[in-house]
Amino acid sequence: MATFSNEELLQAHTELWDLTFGYLKSMALECAIKLGLPNAIHRRGGDATLPDLLDAVSVPESKKAHLPRLMRFLGAFGIFTADAPAAGERANGEEAGAVYGLTPVSRLLVDDSGANGSCGSLSPFVLSQTTKYHVKAAMHLPEWFTSDDGAAAAEMPFRTAHGADLWGVMDRDPKMNQVFNAGMGSDTQLAMDFVIGNYGDVFDGVTSLVDVGGGTGSAARAIAKAFPHVKCSVLDLPNVVNSVPPDGVVEYISGDMMSSIPATDAVFLKYIMHDWNDEDCVKILKQCKKAIPESGGKVIIVDIVVGSPLKAMLEAQVSFDLLMMVITGGKERDEHEWRKIFMDAGFSHHKTRPVLGFMAITELYA
């Protein structure tokens, strides 16, 4: 067995610690959002001292001394900047503290309109992925891996932890349903800005579109706004559709994509296929194929294609894959795996292009 040099040992030890305490990153990020720290810094013009933050957020007197430690942690991982004051600089007669600023990451968490360019805040997305349900499900990974009793609870760690799948939990917990839909909507806004702004040609020749599993209609509304000639509809479960007030822009249809999809020029699937195993994906795609015309019809898929050559992108892709294993029983797929389910569903050819970093857009033809 190879021996470590002192330098290698120390590096490995540091990396192991970083992995061990990795959960604190997402919890600290959630805390920053709930305290309103990104908004507080933004509303101070992009720079804020500790007294500025304490004036802006609701922290009891007994906890105020701990806020600098949270800010230091978030700064170490690139969420905020922390510029030390010049030597001897004083504020209100006291030694000046650090000045905190926004980074590209924390700018994505600001709620104020226009702070992030054309996209909205991704804070709802973060909050939708750091719920008690997600955390508890992930903690059941070891139990799930060693269970082989064939029971429904063994299908995925989420069901092992909660006795129901994600959709069942949202059905019985209206607050979770609201948090999840808000999160999906916020991420959709950013994704659709990129798709429409850079790959709008995928909608060429389309006069009608059904957004399958489209939730509250964020993607469909964005498409309808950019392409007014396209009649956009959303197909989703009754508990989702019934919670959305009519907007006069998108038609909301209650249904089950496994059973039937309304006839349309194009079916739009954003972050849907990764929720399902291969067998169910083939069922969904076969329903999509029935819904579109043989000539000129298409299925448009926005999802991950695993295999990015860039380390950060690949880490995001495989993290999403593990998340799917934990909460839905689905998976993220590489190019070969995508091609197989396309062929099994009876599609003749497809075209895939990278979009939004670790995501891709695929046009699938009958």
pLDDT tens digits, one per residue of 163-185: 999 999 998 999 999 999 899 98
Mean pLDDT of the chain: 91
pLDDT at residue 82 tops 50? yes
CA dist., res. 242 & res. 248, Å (int): 15
The pLDDT tens digits of the residues spanning 15-56 come to 999 999 999 999 999 999 999 999 999 999 999 999 999 999
- 93: confidence class by pLDDT, cuts 50, 70, 90: very low
Structure tokens belonging to residue 22:
């990795």
The Cβ-side half-sphere exposure at 145, using a 13 Å CA radius, reads 7
The pLDDT tens digits of the residues spanning 274-307 come to 999 999 999 999 999 999 999 999 999 999 999 9
Structure tokens belonging to residue 304:
């991950």
Phi/psi zone of residue 230: left (φ > 0), alpha (ψ -120 to 50 degrees), beta? Answer: beta
The tokens 């448009």 sit on which residue?
300
CA dist., res. 58 & res. 134, Å (int): 26
CA dist., res. 196 & res. 223, Å (int): 7
CA dist., res. 295 & res. 165, Å (int): 38
Q: Kindly report the number of other CB atoms within 10 A of residue 102's CB atom.
A: 21
Cα→Cα distances 210→155, 205, 252, 266, 270, Å: 30, 15, 10, 7, 11
Residue 200's nearest CA partner among 218, 232, 223 is: 223
The tokens 């995501």 sit on which residue?
359
CATH 3.40.50.150 domain position(s) in the chain: 188-365
Q: Which of 229, 274, 349, 350 is catalytic?
A: 274
Q: What is the 8-class DSSP label of residue 85?
A: P
Instruction: Supply the DSSP string of 11-27, one letter for each residue.
Output: HHHHHHHHHHTTHHHHH
Q: What is the pLDDT of residue 357?
A: 78
CATH (residue range 6-84+98-109): 1.10.10.10
Structure tokens belonging to residue 140:
């059941």
Return the CATH number of 188-365, one of 3.40.50.2000, 3.40.50.150, 3.30.70.260, 1.10.645.10: 3.40.50.150
Q: What is the 8-class DSSP label of residue 309?
A: S
The pLDDT tens digits of the residues spanning 116-145 come to 554 579 999 999 999 999 999 999 999 999
Pairing relationship of beta strands 266-270 and 94-95 according to DSSP bridges: unpaired
- 217: confidence class by pLDDT, cuts 50, 70, 90: very high
Q: What is the pTM of this model?
A: 0.88
CA dist., res. 331 & res. 280, Å (int): 12
CATH 1.10.10.10 domain position(s) in the chain: 6-84+98-109
> Is 66 annotated in the active site?
no
Task: Give me the phi and psi of 152, to 5 degrees please.
Answer: -60, -35
Pairing relationship of beta strands 208-212 and 231-236 according to DSSP bridges: parallel
